[in-house]
Amino acid sequence: MCGVVGYLGRRRAARVLVAGLKKLEYRGYDSAGIAVLEGETLHVLKRAGRVAGLWKDATFAGDCGIGHTRWATHGAPTEANAHPHVYGSFAVVHNGIIENFSELRAACIARGETFSSETDSEVIAHLLERFYAGDFIAALRKTCACLKGSYAIAALRKGKREIALARLGSPLVVGVRKGELLCASDVPAIAAKDIALYPLEDGEFALLGEEGASFYDGQGRIEKQAVPCGGAEDVPDRKGYPHFMKKEIAEIPAAIAASRPAIGLDGQYSELCEVLCHAKYLRIVACGTAYHAGLGAKYAFERLARLPVEVTVASEFRSSDPILPTGTAVIAVSQSGETADTLAAARLAAARNVPVIALTNVRYSSLASLSPLVLFTGAGREIAVAATKSYCAQLTALYSLAAAVAEAKGMRGYGDLLARLPQLAAEAIAAGEEVQKFTPYFTGASSAYFVGRGPDCVTAYEGSLKLKEISYLPSEGYAAGELKHGTLALIGQGTPVVAVITSEALAEKTMNAVYEAHSRGARVFLVTSLPALARKEWITGSVLLPPCGDVFSPAVSVIPLQLLAYYVALARGNDPDKPRNLAKSVTVE
């Protein structure tokens, strides 16, 4: 989940590298570091903590270097464990996991070599030093042949202005512009209007040197075609908002509007609909928030298109030897398109000749390249680690697909309600500001609970996840009927319980759980589109949503809960954009 960046050109590399790392910090911010070649000298600067800690000391004059921002896997988030790692003539930065590093490390130690960190990545520098015999790419090929796991590697060697790159299972893209060569884990770190981009595929290598960028596979040199950058993709500024998360919640209506393809659209979208019209079963695989989007889509596909759906956590799908009968289609959902478990699940399905539809927010991601059937969301760049607008965009894209399949089958597609979602989301944002008044009841609590039925249960799951990941308050989301099957034992005086109710048909049943919690001392909060419920005098607080139809309601009802998590995080003194121990793009298993 770490971020890798490299630069060779005319400018001071140190400043370019730190600026690039700042744009990759969503991938990890436990530590950061750079290595810059200046003549025969290799300067290394590393700091525990965020990238900003490098800036004042990043004054080296060299114009060739590599950098890294870390999400800790092997070894604590310390300066010693920060990348780059240096051994002999080589400096290395790495994103991924080397699964056999213990054996490799033991072999290095047996040869008398010493290590300065606890990381798996340091063995790469040792192997490069061992295998180098005048050909950088040959040494990197031999090194990678020893590695088991995943990697995006950028390596620098003392004495020559060149950077060697390798990719397997972790993203890496090369950028070429006049007089400059760059590389990064993600396009925005290096994007510019006049740059040509060359995403590396698994098993490919690259050498950035005096003569330009050259590309290789396991056998020899290859030719690659550039892909368009689409203009500068700098990290957006907050535009007056105190945090990116708050700004991105405000952008939900636009993200929804941009993620709703026109039903009946020709081309690839109609091909996706055709695949699903012929499917007898649908499996959705995803992780975290994207998994919740899949749960929301299940209701839409089953209710609108009468297509049976099973939603599976991607890590469980790949390890369960899943049964995929004839007529099954798979949708793999990942905001970044680089989620390791989701990619592995999609590859497993494809290997069994099951059509895979990729749903992602990133055009040149690994997931997008895995399948010819791709549906892109229109969320735009999302900086805060906690997914907000990207979740609503995923739901909208999946709802649109379900509605299109329903119409193709001659059923009611709900196109009119889908068209209203941006306005409904805008109204939910305005109404959701009411949750600021709820925060005192959560800041001192030891736990919180979210309940709902049907599609509202999906919102309960996602609302709970948002609260726990940025406020660090233990929280769980439940189907309302399950509260009394064990969890009610945890409800005590003052325990916050949030109930989501958008379906009039299910309201009475959900309120049974609310009454049970209230009678045991819980502080009850409602997020509902039913005015009569919001007026009950014993409710501690409520948010009244616009009527949104329960099947699509998760894209609207989640918004007040995103705001609740945001305000509780602030009240507890946390940074809502960069929660501890988390990263935006989960590229390791």
pLDDT (0 to 100) of residue 542: 92
CATH code, domain with 361: 3.40.50.10490
Residue 476 confidence (pLDDT) = 93
Residue percentage of the chain with pLDDT more than 90: 65
Looking at the fold, whether 218 and 244 belong to one and the same domain comes out as: no
When the pLDDT of each residue in the chain is averaged and rounded to a whole number, the result is 90
Q: Per residue in 326-370, pLDDT tens? A: 999 999 999 989 888 999 999 999 999 999 999 999 888 889 888
pLDDT at 232: 44
User: Would you state the pLDDT for residue 498?
Assistant: 94
Mean pLDDT of 84-96: 94
Residues 52 and 182 in one domain: yes
Q: 234 lies in a domain?
A: no
User: Which of 127-141, 169-183, 232-246 has the least mean pLDDT?
Assistant: 232-246
HSE of 494, CA atoms in CB hemisphere, 13 A? 8
pLDDT at residue 289, as a whole number: 97
Residue 585 has pLDDT above 80, yes or no: no
Identify whether 179 is part of a domain. Answer: yes
pTM to 2 decimals?
0.86
Summarize the confidence of residues 160-171 as an average pLDDT.
Answer: 93
Inside any domain, residue 120: yes
The pLDDT of residue 236 = 64
Distance CA(584)–CA(176), nearest Å, equals 26
Residue 259 lies in a domain: yes
pLDDT at 483: 76
Residue 232 lies in a domain: no
Say whether pLDDT at 51 is over 70: yes
With cut-offs at 50, 70 and 90, classify the pLDDT of residue 53: confident
At 264 the pLDDT is: 45
Residues 405 and 435 in one domain: no
Query: How many CB atoms are located within 10 Å of the residue 118 CB?
Result: 14
Residues 207 and 64 in one domain: yes
For residues 500 and 450, is the Cβ–Cβ distance under 8 A?
A: yes
Contact 568, 255 (CB under 8 A): no
Shared-domain flag, residues 409 and 435:
no
Return the higher-pLDDT residue of 204 and 49: 204
Where residue 201 sits, what CATH number does that domain have?
Answer: 3.60.20.10
Give the separation between CA 49 and CA 237, rounded to whole angstroms.
21
Of 413, 442, 461, the one marking the end of a domain is 413
pLDDT digits (tens, 9 = 90+) for 441-489: 999 899 999 999 999 999 999 999 999 999 999 999 998 887 778 887 7
How does pLDDT run across 29-48, given as a tens digit for each residue?
788 999 999 988 999 999 89
**Do residues 56 and 187 share a domain?**
yes
Q: How confident is the model over 185-204, as a mean pLDDT? A: 88
More confident residue, 440 or 515: 440
* Domain assignment present for 314: yes
Is 378 found in the same domain as 496? Answer: no
Q: 483 and 371 share a domain?
A: no
CA dist 216 and 223 (Å) reads 8
Same domain, 203 and 272: no
pLDDT value for 537: 75
Total domains in the chain come to: 3
Measure the CA–CA gap between 517 and 243, rounded to whole angstroms: 34
Does residue 277 register a pLDDT over 60? Answer: yes
322 neighbors 285 (Cβ within 8 angstroms): no
Mean pLDDT computed over 108-137: 94
* CA atoms of 272 and 93, how far apart (whole Å): 39
CA–CA gap between residue 361 and residue 336 (Å, rounded): 6
Distances (CA, A) of 257 to 254, 266, 378, 588: 5, 19, 8, 32
Give Cα separations from 376 to 24, 162, 296, 370, 400 (angstroms): 21, 36, 18, 14, 12
Confidence of residue 512 (pLDDT cuts 50, 70, 90): confident
In a domain, 586, yes or no: no
Q: Note the pLDDT of residue 481.
A: 81
Q: Where a domain ends, among 413, 441, 457?
A: 413
Instruction: Give the pLDDT confidence score for residue 263 in this predicted structure.
Output: 47
Question: Where among 413, 446, 473 does a domain terminate?
Answer: 413
Query: Does residue 581 form part of some domain?
Result: no
CA angle 364, 349, 357 (to 5 degrees): 45
Query: Is 277 found in the same domain as 215?
Result: no
Catalytic residues: 2, 584
- Give the domain extent around 267: 240-413
Res. 310: pLDDT tops 70: yes
Verify that 38 and 87 share a domain, yes or no.
yes
**Are residues 298 and 211 both part of a single domain?**
no
